[in-house]
Structure 1
C-alpha cells in the first residue's frame, strides 16, 4: 500500500521568502521518502528593514509579503497541499512591528505565521536527514547561515552535543559597523574553539542558499565535499569582483551577489576555528525541517 501526502513549508527569512512543496511517500515497512516537488523563492529582504535604523518593516515590504502569501496559497491549492506551516526567523523576530505585520498578513490572507527563536530554528533544521552524512564516531559542526542569524550545532558520535544561534547573518553583517562585526566574529570564534577543542577530525556541514550556490558553482557531484583550499580560493575570487560583475559574469541574482561574500567568510571562519578541512553541502534547510516536523507532528 503506497500513500502520497503533500506538505508545504513557508520560510520567511531575512534575505528571502521561500515556499517548499514536498511529496511524502509512505510505503509499508519502509522509511518515508521526502521528495521536493516545487521550490519558489521571492527576494523580499526583510533584514534591510529590521537590522537598520528604527527596525520597522516598511509598508512596501508588508505589501510584498501579503502578495507573496496570496501567491503561495494559490500554488499550494494547485498542488493539492493538505498541510502547511509558515515560520519567520530573525528579521520578523527583531523588528518592532513584527507582531503587527504577522497579524496583518493573517487578516489579509489567512496565512498564520509563527515567529520562531534561534534555538527552535536550529532544532527544526537539525531534525532533517543529516543521518545520511553523520557517520560513526566522526564529529561535525553544522553551520546554517541565514540573513539575520547563523545556527551552529555540534554532532559527536552521532548525537547533538550542543547548539547555539548567533546574530551573525549575511544581511546583518552588510549593515553593521565593522567594529560590531569584529566583536561578533570574536564571540563565535571563542564558542567554536571551546566546543571543538576535544574533538578529532571535525568536518563541516553547511546549509543555506549561499553555500548551495557555492557548491553548484564548484561543479562537485552531490555528496562530495568542498575543501577549505577551494572555498578560500573562491572567496578571494568573488571578493575581487565587483557587485555588478558577480551579477553579469557569474549570473548571480542581485540579492545573492552581495550576501555571498559575508556568507563565505562565515563558513571559512568556522572551518578555520574548528580545524575542519572539508565542508559537506546537503540540500537541506529550515523548509525541509518544517516538512519533516509536519509529518512527524513535532511542530
Structure 2
C-alpha cells in the first residue's frame, strides 16, 4: 500500500486527491477536494496572473496543506497547467507558492497534461458503455489490462476542457497515438466573448466562430479514425451530465460513464443561453463559479461534436487529478 496525493492547479479550479494505492490497478480514495479559484481571471488582458487570483489560489493550497497533514502521505505531486504556463509571472507565482505553502509545483506542458489526463480517464472508463459504474463511493478501480481492454480496445477521442486550454487525445488499445493542446479555455473565451447577461446572439456568433477556427482541421491533425468513441472530461462536461439527469447533489456514481446525446446537450445549451447568470444559479446541478463559464464550455462541446460528426459523448469523472496519482505510482515503482 502507498498513500499518494496529487494536486491539479487549473485555470479555474484547484483539485486535490489523496489515495491509498494498493497496486497499479486499484486505489482507495481517502480524500477528494476541489475549489474554484479562477486563477486565470484577467490573464487575456496582460498575460499576467493578477494578485487577487493568486491569493485565492494560495489560500486554497494552504487549506489543502492542512488537509494533507491528516494523512500519512508518502509522496505528493502538484502540477500547474495553462494559466501558470502562459503567464509572464507564472514562475514568480510558483516561487510564491513554495514560500507560503512549501509545495513544489511542476508547470506541465499541454502535451504532458494530455498524457496524464489520459491515464486518469482510461482508469475511469467501464469495459463497455452499457456497464454499470465501477466506482464505489470510496473506491476507484484502475482497470488491469485484462479488465480495461474490453472498453479501450478500439479508438478513443478524449477531450479535456479546461479554463485556459482544451486537450485532445487519440488512443487505441489504451495507448496514446496523438495529442493536441488548443487555446480553447472556458475562462479565456468567457472573458473575451460573453459580456452580456444573458448572452447576446452576436456574442454567441463570435464565440462559435472563435471555437470553429481553432478546431478546423483538428480531425486531420489528430489523424483520428472514422469510427472512434468520444469521451469528455472536466467540469463543463460533468456539469452537463448532472444537469441532464436533474441531479440536486453531485454524485460521481451517476456521472462517470454517463452517455449524453448531442440533442440533449443542444437542448441544455438553448436553455442556458436564454437564462441570466442569476437564473442559472437556480439550477441545482450547476456549481457556483461555473454559471458564466458554462456557456463557452457547452459551445466547445457542441462545436467539436459537429466537427467530428459525433452523436453522443461518454462522460468521465476521472481526469488529470487521478492521472497525476497514477503517474506518481508508476514512476515510484518503475512501471
What range describes the TM-score normalised by the shorter chain of this pair? 0.7 to 0.9
Kindly provide the CA deviation profile for residues 74-130 of structure 1, in whole angstroms up to 9, marking residues without a partner as x: 101112222111100111111111111111110122111111110110011112251
Equivalence for 1:140: 156
Task: Report deviation, 1:183.
Answer: 4.2
Equivalence for 2:236: 210
Cα gap change, 1:101/1:195 in structure 2, threshold over 3 Å: closer, same or farther?
closer
Q: How does 1:1-299 map onto structure 2 within 5 Å?
A: 3=1, 5-26=2-23, 32-51=25-44, 53-128=45-120, 130=122, 132-133=125-126, 135=151, 138-156=154-172, 158-176=174-192, 182-192=209-219, 195=222, 199-219=225-245, 222-250=256-284, 252-297=286-331
Q: SS at 1:108's partner residue?
A: helix
> What is the TM-score normalised by the length of structure 2?
0.79
Cα gap change, 1:107/1:32 in structure 2, threshold over 3 Å: closer, same or farther?
same
For 2:255 and 2:323, the matched residues in 1 are separated by 23
Cα gap change, 1:158/1:56 in structure 2, threshold over 3 Å: closer, same or farther?
closer
Deviation >3 Å, runs of 4+? 131-138, 156-159, 177-181, 193-197
CA-based RMSD of the aligned residues comes to: 2.4
Structure 2's unaligned 5+ residue stretches are 127-148, 194-202, 246-253
The answer to whether the 8 Å contact 1:202/1:274 transfers is no
Kindly provide the CA deviation profile for residues 147-170 of structure 1, in whole angstroms up to 9, marking residues without a partner as x: 000000112455432110000010
The answer to whether the 8 Å contact 2:39/2:54 transfers is no
Q: SS at 1:257's partner residue?
A: coil
Structure 1's unaligned 5+ residue stretches are none
The answer to whether the 8 Å contact 2:161/2:186 transfers is yes
Kindly provide the CA deviation profile for residues 223-252 of structure 1, in whole angstroms up to 9, marking residues without a partner as x: 341111111111111111111111024352
For 2:305 and 2:217, the matched residues in 1 are separated by 13
Cα gap change, 1:73/1:142 in structure 2, threshold over 3 Å: closer, same or farther?
same
Kindly provide the CA deviation profile for residues 167-207 of structure 1, in whole angstroms up to 9, marking residues without a partner as x: 0010011122566873452231311255467x233321000
The answer to whether the 8 Å contact 2:161/2:185 transfers is yes
For 1:224 and 1:94, the matched residues in 2 are separated by 33
Cα gap change, 1:41/1:239 in structure 2, threshold over 3 Å: closer, same or farther?
same
For 1:118 and 1:251, the matched residues in 2 are separated by 29
The answer to whether the 8 Å contact 2:159/2:168 transfers is yes
For 1:144 and 1:221, the matched residues in 2 are separated by 15
> Which deviates further from its counterpart, 110-119 or 53-62?
53-62
* Count of equivalent residues: 290
For 2:76 and 2:304, the matched residues in 1 are separated by 33
The answer to whether the 8 Å contact 1:192/1:274 transfers is yes
